[in-house]
Amino acid sequence: MKVITGGICAVEGVKASGACEENYGVGLIHYPGATAAAVYTTNQVQAAPVTVTREALKNGVLSAVVANSGNANCYTGKQGLQDAREMADQVAISLDLPTSEVAVASTGIIGRQMPMDTIQALTKDALRRLDHSSQASRNAAEAIMTTDTYPKEYSLETTLKNGKKVRLGGICKGSGMIAPNLATMLAFLTTDLEASPEELEASLKVAVEKSFNMVDIDKDVSTNDTVILMARPGEGNLDENFQEALDELCIQLTRMMARDGEGATKYMEVTVQGAKTLKDARKAAKAVVGSSLVKTAFFGADPNWGRIVAAAGYSGAELEPDRISVSLASGQRRVDIVKRGEVLAFEGTEELELAESIMEEQEIQVEVDLDLGEYQATAFGCDLTYDYVRINSEYST
């Protein structure tokens, strides 16, 4: 497996583009006749584009994706559904596709009607710009940004067990309203693997459980979350090597979102090991990375082991307090602050001094060992800052 350039356009046959105007953008992906699968938000309030995309993917064939930023098209009633379908229609007519092969995605403010004149003009512009290039992928990634501070894309190449090389690429957006079980995030993934919709769906769900479902910026679950994977028609080629590459692609995109959390100054990665079950490991990791008290401690560079242990304790994972160990790390530096229930980082100790120094870094790893089994899981997040409150208090005004 190796990292390559190109984003979604690292895959031959994929074209992309983006167009922006003030607070709005439209990103396009064109991959004619692709097989596809998707996962969506778990919020019971779901945006109109999620409904339209679910309908489009019923037959597992998808040739294009149109995604806009600036307006979520959620809680917008019948008009919102009509607008989402008009977005699909415009792309289908221009690219000579069945409307049923066009997915729609939106991100932005909830509860406002779509500015369709603006969105249609941007879509027309993006359609003219469709291209197969690294810049085209970057343009699409930029067009779907909202409070993101930078575009997020990643691509890699791997070799299947049969010796064939395959490529995977992805773009995503996400910065706030991010919590486990997807978030205010859109992710579009492409590959030149030949696979069936059923194979893609099974593989995507595995990758999402390890990545997008393990990120937590602020515990708010969005109404628009969509992850789409597009491939070439075929079957029987998806193997462990491809799954490993897809996992890595999704994890890298997840890390980018966590690093770019709204107002964030620090990236945090929490690994829980020694859990009795995988479910327990995921529960505990999510609880720690999602704890507001842990997040604020990180913002203040406070190695508050009590908050970490408390979060693991209320997570619902099976644990024994006197067997828990906690360590902090950044780069090559690492320190144990709790060892099998014994606190090591008391005031005046070398452990506390090193822990406080590590907490000043921009990227910090937390390791929690439950010492009950062989399962582990990693969750991704960031600190909670004054700027997060400012950004979200001003979001719709």
- The answer to whether residues 225 and 356 belong to one domain is no
Mode of pairing for the β-strands spanning 226-232 and 186-194:
parallel
- The answer to whether residues 207 and 324 belong to one domain is no
**Residue 148 pLDDT greater than 60, yes or no:** yes
Confidence of residue 221 (pLDDT cuts 50, 70, 90): low
- The answer to whether residues 16 and 87 belong to one domain is yes
In tens, the pLDDT along 283-307 reads 999 999 999 999 999 999 999 999 9
Question: In the chain, at which residue ranges do the beta strands (DSSP E only) sit?
Answer: 2-3, 15-21, 24-40, 61-71, 102-109, 152-159, 165-173, 186-194, 215-216, 226-232, 267-275, 325-330, 333-339, 342-343, 363-369, 375-382
Q: How confident is the model over 323-348, as a mean pLDDT? A: 96
Task: Give the whole-number percent of the chain exceeding pLDDT 90.
Answer: 82
- The answer to whether residues 298 and 329 belong to one domain is yes
- The answer to whether residues 17 and 141 belong to one domain is yes
**Residue 255 pLDDT greater than 90, yes or no:** yes
Given 259, 276, 302, which residue is the final one in a domain? 259
Q: How confident is the model over 64-89, as a mean pLDDT? A: 96
**Residue 115 pLDDT greater than 60, yes or no:** yes
- The answer to whether residues 37 and 126 belong to one domain is yes
User: Using CA atoms, how far apart are residues 90 and 92, in angstroms rounded to an integer?
Assistant: 6
In tens, the pLDDT along 186-206 reads 999 999 999 999 999 999 999
In tens, the pLDDT along 367-377 reads 999 999 999 99
Q: Global pTM?
A: 0.92
User: Using CA atoms, how far apart are residues 256 and 249, in angstroms rounded to an integer?
Assistant: 11
Q: Round the average pLDDT of the chain to a whole number and report it.
A: 92
> Is the separation of the CB atoms in 76 and 108 below 8 Å?
no
Catalytic residue among 184, 191, 223, 271: 184
Question: What CATH number corresponds to the domain at position 246?
Answer: 3.60.70.12
Confidence of residue 175 (pLDDT cuts 50, 70, 90): low
To 10 degrees, what angle do helices 116-129 and 134-143 make? 170
- The answer to whether residues 158 and 36 belong to one domain is yes
Name the residue with tokens 């980082």: 345
Q: How confident is the model over 258-267, as a mean pLDDT? A: 83
> Is the separation of the CB atoms in 140 and 18 below 8 Å?
yes
User: 13 or 174, which is more confident?
Assistant: 13
Question: What CATH number corresponds to the domain at position 380?
Answer: 3.10.20.340
Residue 59 is classified by DSSP as G
In tens, the pLDDT along 228-246 reads 999 999 999 999 999 999 9
pLDDT of res. 146: 85
- The answer to whether residues 311 and 244 belong to one domain is no
- The answer to whether residues 213 and 326 belong to one domain is no
- Helices and strands in the chain: count of H runs, count of E runs: 11, 16
pLDDT of res. 220: 47
**Residue 178 pLDDT greater than 50, yes or no:** no
Boundaries of domain holding 358: 267-393
Task: Give the whole-number percent of the chain exceeding pLDDT 70.
Answer: 93
Confidence of residue 183 (pLDDT cuts 50, 70, 90): very low
Given 259, 280, 311, which residue is the final one in a domain? 259
User: Does the annotation mark 184 as catalytic?
Assistant: yes
Q: How many domains does the chain have?
A: 2
- The answer to whether residues 71 and 165 belong to one domain is yes
Query: Is residue 174 exposed (0-12), middle (13-18) or buried (19+ Cβ within 10 Å)?
Result: buried
- The answer to whether residues 67 and 122 belong to one domain is yes
pLDDT of res. 182: 39
pLDDT of res. 217: 57
pLDDT of res. 176: 46
- The answer to whether residues 222 and 309 belong to one domain is no
Given 228, 259, 290, which residue is the final one in a domain? 259
pLDDT of res. 215: 85
- Which residue(s) pair with 194 in the sheet? 232
Mode of pairing for the β-strands spanning 342-343 and 375-382:
unpaired
